[in-house]
Amino acid sequence: MTDYRKMWEDLGMDLETHDLLCEALPQAFGDVYLSQKNRPEGMGYYNFVVSEIHGVRPAELVEAQKKGVKVFGTFCVYVPDEVVFAAGGIATGLCGGSQFWVPSGEKVLPAATCPLIKASVGARLDRTCPFFSIADIFVGETTCDGKKKAWEILKQYAPVYVMDLPQQKRAKDVADWAEEIRAFLAEVEKVTGNKVTAESLSGAIKLINDKRRALRRLYDFRKLPNPPISGKDCLLISQIAFYDDPTRFTEMTNKLCDELEQRVKDGVGVYAPGAKRILFTGTPMAIPNWKLHHIVESGGAAVVGEETCTGIRYFDNLVDESQTTLDGMINALAERYMKINCACFTPNDARVDDIKRYVKEYKANGVVDINLKFCALYDIEGFLVEKALKEDSIPVLGLETDYSDEDAAQLRTRVGAFLEILNA
Ligand code: BJ8
Tell how far the Cα of 35 is from the centroid of ligand 1, in angstroms: 31
CA–CA dist 418, 423 (Å, integer): 9
CA distance linking residue 370 with residue 42, whole number of Å = 29
Q: Minimum mean pLDDT among 14-28, 160-174, 342-356: which range?
A: 14-28
Q: What is the pLDDT of residue 1?
A: 65
Q: Is the CB of 283 under 6 A from ligand 1?
A: yes
Banded pLDDT at 24 (limits 50, 70, 90): confident
* Ligand 1 pocket: which of 75, 142, 147 to mutate (most atoms within 8 A of CB): 147
For residue range 150-166, what is the model confidence (pLDDT) as tens digits?
999 999 989 999 999 99
pLDDT at residue number 95: 84
How remote is the CA of residue 64 from the centroid of ligand 1, in Å?
Answer: 29
pLDDT, average across residues 295-305: 97
Please work out whether the CB of residue 375 comes within 6 Å of at least one atom of ligand 1: yes
Assign 3-class secondary structure to 90-143: EEEECCCCCHHHHHHHCCCCCCCCCHHHHHHHHHHHHCCCHHHHHCCEEEEECC
Percent of the chain with pLDDT over 90: 96
* CA-based nearest residue to 269, from 316, 226, 319, 300: 226
Q: Are 385 and 281 in contact (CB under 8 A)?
A: yes
Taking the CA atoms of 373, 73, 330 and 254 in sequence, report the sign of the dihedral they define: negative
Chain segment 38-67, per-residue pLDDT in tens: 999 999 999 999 999 999 999 999 999 999
- Secondary structure letter of residue 32 according to DSSP: I
- As a whole number, the mean pLDDT across the chain is 96
Atom of ligand 1 lying closest to residue 344 CA: 12
Rg (the chain; Cα; Å): 21
The number of domains in the chain is 1
Kind plus residue range of the DSSP H or E element containing 369: strand 366-372
Q: Cα(153)–Cα(109) distance, rounded to whole angstroms? A: 9
**Cβ atoms 285, 371 nearer than 8 A:** no
Task: Tell me what the mean pLDDT of segment 135-161 comes to.
Answer: 96
Report percent pLDDT > 70 for the chain. 100
pLDDT recorded at residue 315: 98
Cα–Cα distances in angstroms (integers) from residue 346 to residues 168, 354, 380, in the given order: 6, 15, 12
Going from the Cα of 294 to the center of ligand 1, the distance in angstroms, rounded, reads 22
Distance CA 189, CA 194 (A): 5
Residue 2 has pLDDT above 90, yes or no: no
- Determine the distance separating the centroid of ligand 1 and the alpha carbon of 3, expressed in angstroms: 35
In this structure, the chain runs to a length of 424
Burial class (CB within 10 angstroms; exposed 0-12, middle 13-18, buried 19+) of 65: middle
The stretch 248-260 carries a mean pLDDT of 98
Domain extent for 399? 5-423
Name the residue among 344, 343, 340, 345 with its Cα closest to residue 369.
343
Closest to 20 measured CA to CA, from 120, 128, 104, 132: 128
* Distance between Cα 283 and ligand 1 center (Å): 6
